[in-house]
Structure 1
């Protein structure tokens, strides 16, 4: 292995990576090492070619204050202490790629590398993709239940409170969103005893199509949750029409949804939109602003897409995250279309 491949890693993480590879491949030579884009994850990802096999080496990044929000104890080295347990369960069920090595102490994982094909190439198009996702989430929810971590509305609330403390917006500008969140929290009723295994970040970048089937990756946020959490995220990012939502729900349920479930889905989808608004607005707060924003007006989706195509707006920048946060806030209030959640590439 070239010594330059891991030169940017802290020494302890570099040693842990080499120990993981030695455990998996032994003395076999490494033929190639290539960095892999990881979306918004803080993890460092590398594709390792060795012995005629391709592996994904995943190294957890530095935990930021944002990643610690809502998690106890604060000195924990993980933003979610149950992610590796959840990953093991998902891999054993064939929902996550096969695991070869997990070290929770060093935060290093080696798994099969899955070569990503565009979701747009899924045979049968969006209807077939949506049906397959509903079936995949049903399989996930049938696994042994992931450990408990935190109630989803509390997670959303703590993240939203963090956004309010960043100074991104002038005092009072976010009040109507906070008030709407409190109304939703009051209307949201859930018995935690009926929680199920949940990925909790089932956005398009975390769904892999290998040309034959779907996989779910990036289990950093996985823990037991409301069964509608992943469904709400998929309905807001992929199944974004009434027809596709119906396909998703029928594939997940194995039958037709009733009005009560649809009403709950609307509540949970609002929570997921506020959560992702909090994530991207927190990302936009990483740069210094001259003054707090007094305007939360969001561009239409067509305008946002045109700005991206023309280069006036570039993905992955603080300005991009700030604009997407506003679009998600508008969708949070209206239950209209948001930008999807492919916000990282």
Structure 2
């Protein structure tokens, strides 16, 4: 049988026992199981105490992005609104949180799911303001510098993409009215449906940000078709979206494609040599491979391929007439 001493890193075991003692008046769970999935460096465990399961999360790398104080502040605010699972314990010093464990079920009604996600995004954005961290676009600027310095691709392979992206950078301006509490990573790994409602987990990337970031990330997984994107925006704004709102949404979609592409490439920098070929499957084909298990985002090969898929889709979008029209609306 697994115990804290056998599965928890030695430098965290005492702190975990303290957490369990304060939350549940016991130092040892009845069961403990490490969970996998996602790209976070945190260690996540399913623990059983008195016949109920909870989620134990350990922040293993503390830095500006992985800041337990900001993360747990956002988590507690979201939990108080029943957006995130109930919180039983947090320690900024030790980087530990304990929340309810969510037993997931498939959500088969995609229209209802999209309605719920739009409503959930709005609820997140109406929470008391999260701590500030960075201007999202300035953060991406730093990622671009790092990407170019890595030498992963030749400069010519991405020259057109970055030249076109620069048009967004000079046109899309931060507006106070759009700065809201944001999760910033509303992908399927972080949205858990329990059969009655969806719960949002993993708040390590949460901070004050542009409202269109969450909407664009939702659309990346759940609203790829124009009619789905219209429904997402109409539900979120509780009205027909204006041309200006649609333009900001479209441009932020491109920003987020770039962001996730850069994130994928950061993960593989140490595993591959300079690559001059950005060719990749279509998004539809790639997602089919992912769903079928032929590709995994848990290894460098899948991460590299996904980064290429995102960059290719981004370049197609940046070459479109819709892109020029969106820039014109915001200029």
Shift, 1:334, TM fit:
2.4
Residues 267-318 of structure 1 deviation map (CA, whole Å, 9 limit, x = unaligned):
111111111001111112231x3x4101112222354356557876444210
Matched, 1:149 2:148: no
From 65, 75, 79, the equivalent of 1:87 is 75
Partner of 1:174: helix, strand, or coil?
A: helix
Change (3 A) 1:171 1:89: same
Matched, 1:322 2:304: yes
Partner of 1:33: helix, strand, or coil?
A: strand
Partner of 1:165: helix, strand, or coil?
A: helix
Q: Distance in 2 between matches of 1:175 and 1:80?
A: 37
Q: Distance in 2 between matches of 1:178 and 1:130?
A: 31
Aligned residues: 318
Matched, 1:50 2:49: yes
Query: Could you tell me which residue of structure 2 aligns to residue 107 of structure 1?
Result: 95
Query: Could you tell me which residue of structure 2 aligns to residue 17 of structure 1?
Result: 16
Query: Could you tell me which residue of structure 2 aligns to residue 97 of structure 1?
Result: 85
Query: Could you tell me which residue of structure 2 aligns to residue 342 of structure 1?
Result: none
Change (3 A) 1:195 1:308: closer
Q: Distance in 2 between matches of 1:8 and 1:166?
A: 35
Q: Map residues 1-345 of structure 1 onto 2, 5 A cutoff.
A: 2-3=2-3, 5-7=4-6, 9-27=8-26, 30-63=29-62, 71=64, 78-79=66-67, 82-119=70-107, 121=108, 125-192=109-176, 194-287=178-271, 289=272, 291-305=273-287, 307-308=289-290, 313-335=295-317
Shift, 1:7, TM fit:
3.2
Higher mean C-alpha displacement, 207-216 vs 310-319: 310-319
Partner of 1:234: helix, strand, or coil?
A: helix
Q: Distance in 2 between matches of 1:177 and 1:228?
A: 21
Normalized per residue, the structure richer in helix is 2
Consecutive unaligned residues in structure 1, runs of 5 or more: 337-345
Change (3 A) 1:196 1:302: closer
Is the CA contact 2:68–2:92 (under 8 Å) kept in the aligned structure 1? Answer: no
Residues 32-75 of structure 1 deviation map (CA, whole Å, 9 limit, x = unaligned):
11122241111111111112321100001235xxxx5xx4xxxx
Partner of 1:46: helix, strand, or coil?
A: strand
Query: Could you tell me which residue of structure 2 aligns to residue 339 of structure 1?
Result: none
Partner of 1:173: helix, strand, or coil?
A: helix
